[in-house]
Structure 1
């Protein structure tokens, strides 16, 4: 309801009704059309045209859809509330000894390899690009791949490959993991659970355990936890390299 494409078509009278409805949304669901007409100083005929523009056959259907719209907005607010609590829980887990030891073990590996290669598809591909930029900002050679069909099957460089997959079951990334397992590279994965296929195939895995929220085929899960992990890996790896450089030690 109130889709941007429809709102763009409103005339002055429509906008008058729309503004009143939005600011008094609960009250309008209890009104008669004449009540709304009196409060907005817009004729009932114009209000019925407004209803039709919003794909309603009459004022009764408009009020019914308005109630549905209110329910949807309340559910979205509740989702965001729960989403915040999930991230708080994750950040608490991120302070655990087990989690920090996993980060340290991976950073020790990254610090001794030639470069970092981050791979993901879709939203995870955006995270791969973000991670590559963050590693590069800290002076480490890094690249990202967000095309699952990029040929990597003859890759013989000694790298740290970081696979990002919420489900851990993406077929294309499983194939990529198999290819890199045949190379000198170490495979690290960031997945939602440690029981996923990609997590089990990896040399190292960090799991976020964030609830996956989907609307149809669209994954709406937040990536804050993945960003935290990528930044932690980059910062700690940079610290390790700097420490060894100051001591004049070679990282091999």
Structure 2
């Protein structure tokens, strides 16, 4: 049941921006007034949202639920939806804005780490250990996460690389073999360019690990392993997602798990730090 709750809540946030007008009204109530939804009848929710009961039923079906009662049960058992996490912040209320930001970031980190499947993570660690080369794929504002991942993996002796240019990345992908690994980082899991890179990699039988916040996205579906990076809340505008913190958290967690698996890797980090120490004051 707990995994179903997490999938439901993560799905609510990861699909913000994709809902129809009717669905958006339901989601707004779920996020901003969950207590009402938990205690309301389907008729009361429909009336307050100014939509039909059929629209509510369709939303529940699209969310993979058995019905409106199933929605209320999951919502009641969820500890992830914060009734204070409303979208009515502004620059005129700086403290409130910063408090919301802090709470959303904390929720993202918690939900991402709690969503880790132990058996899958063990397999991911082994795949990274066995890989000859690791190509990290990302684009847009997620690309800094790819750079961070490259830095971390190279520090512990795993040869990793990335590219800001899609054309260069495609050239890299064409040279991968079944001994190599691709890690693709995408908030939506729907980037056409990243999908093309994955399709080329799969033709060479390359193992694919995805970090997305939508477990049913095209990139997640194409991948051998999908790590769900949770997003929580929106601020100022519905299109702004908190995506990078959860992705960085996932990379950091994988890195730390590899160190825990082999403490001797710390020596490689120390050697690297000594070599670059001269660049610091």
TM-score (norm 2): 0.54
Aligned pair 1:116/2:130, yes or no? no
SS of residue matched to 2:162: strand
CA deviations 1:208-229 (Å, max 9, x no partner) are 1204748789855252211111
Higher RCO (Cα < 8 Å, 6 or more apart) = 2
Deviation at 1:123, TM superposition (A): 1.4
Q: How does 1:85-100 map to 2 (within 5 A)?
A: 85-96=103-114, 98-100=116-118
**Cα deviation code 1:181-238 (max 9, x no counterpart):** 1113210111111011111111100111204748789855252211111122223234
Q: Which blocks of at least 5 consecutive residues in structure 2 are unaligned? A: 1-88, 266-281
Structure 1 Cα separation of the partners of residues 231 and 181 of structure 2: 25
Instruction: Name the CA distance, whole Å, in 2 between partners of 1:215 and 1:146.
Output: 29
Which moved further from structure 2: 183-192 or 152-161?
Answer: 152-161
Distance 2:166 2:225 in 1: 21
How many residues matched? 174
| Change in CA separation of 1:239 and 1:141 when aligned onto 2, cut-off 3 Å | farther
Matches for 1:1-252 after TM superposition, within 5 Å: 72-74=90-92, 77-96=95-114, 98-150=116-168, 151-152=170-171, 154-157=174-177, 158-211=179-232, 213=234, 219=240, 221-240=242-261
The DSSP-based 3-state class of the residue aligned with 1:91 is helix
- Secondary structure at 1:161 match in 2: strand
Q: What is the distance in 2 between the residues matched to 1:241 and 1:165?
A: 28
Deviation at 1:149, TM superposition (A): 2.2
Superposition misfits of 4+ residues, deviation over 4 angstroms = 212-220, 241-244
The structure where strand makes up a greater share of residues is: 1
**Is there any run of 5+ residues in structure 1 with no aligned partner, and where?**
1-70, 245-252
